[in-house]
Structure 1
């Protein structure tokens, strides 16, 4: 089981599937940070403060943040996939490895 924080752009059906797979997924919508356009570095700092790996579709900005510092619980960047269950299943597959300080890429097949 992984401790995850899904940012606001991560699909809710994928979050639900990850929960069904046994992961503890907190969403920004469940926090007091929802809808406030919190800067990405603050979202990552929050994830780090609660020791959760960050799930996001915002690849470009979080790659830059990872390049600046690997002091985080992990970042999983995903390409959008309308098949939300398949997206969650690919995320689940990458969670077999340690996430701390790592940038993990989950891509839709055939890109």
Structure 2
């Protein structure tokens, strides 16, 4: 069974919709008006509250948040980070991310609470 995901705001609804179409439990920040424009720490807190791993391109802000969670003894459902070097934001971005997340979600135990995973092609 795949891990439930919350896609950060910059990933949009298209990726979520395609993953849901492939049978995964995926929500997008942009589909929930209460989450739009929230600070990063609150987005991570909401993902943790919902038991969803957070998927984001915002590595520079979420790696330090992960460290703060660890230092404070707090827990989250996992972080999936997308590096723009591996996934350039060009015409193939959505398809590449959908394929890579679909593959990751099919791997048992690939997303573990309190762990950081860098998405691979």
Provide the TM-score with structure 2 as the length reference: 0.76
**Could you report, residue by residue, the CA deviation over 1:13-71 in whole angstroms, capped at 9, with x for unpaired residues?**
32222112211111112223244x21111100000111111111111111111122241
Q: State the 1:102 CA deviation.
A: 0.8
> Among residues 73, 80, 86, which one is paired with 1:76 in the alignment?
80
Whichever structure has more strand as a proportion of its residues is 1
Structure possessing the higher radius of gyration over alpha carbons: 2
Structure 1 runs (4+) greater than 4 angstroms displaced: none
Whichever structure has more helix as a proportion of its residues is 2
1:12 & 1:43 partners in 2: Cα distance? Answer: 16
Question: Unmatched 5+ residue regions in structure 2?
Answer: none
Question: Unmatched 5+ residue regions in structure 1?
Answer: none
In structure 1, the partner of 2:54 is 54
Q: Is the 8 A contact 2:5 2:27 kept in 1?
A: yes
In structure 2, the partner of 1:15 is 16
1:48 & 1:10 partners in 2: Cα distance? Answer: 18
What CA RMSD, in Å, does the superposition of the two structures yield over aligned residues?
A: 1.9
2:96 & 2:76 partners in 1: Cα distance? Answer: 26
* Aligned residue-pair number: 107
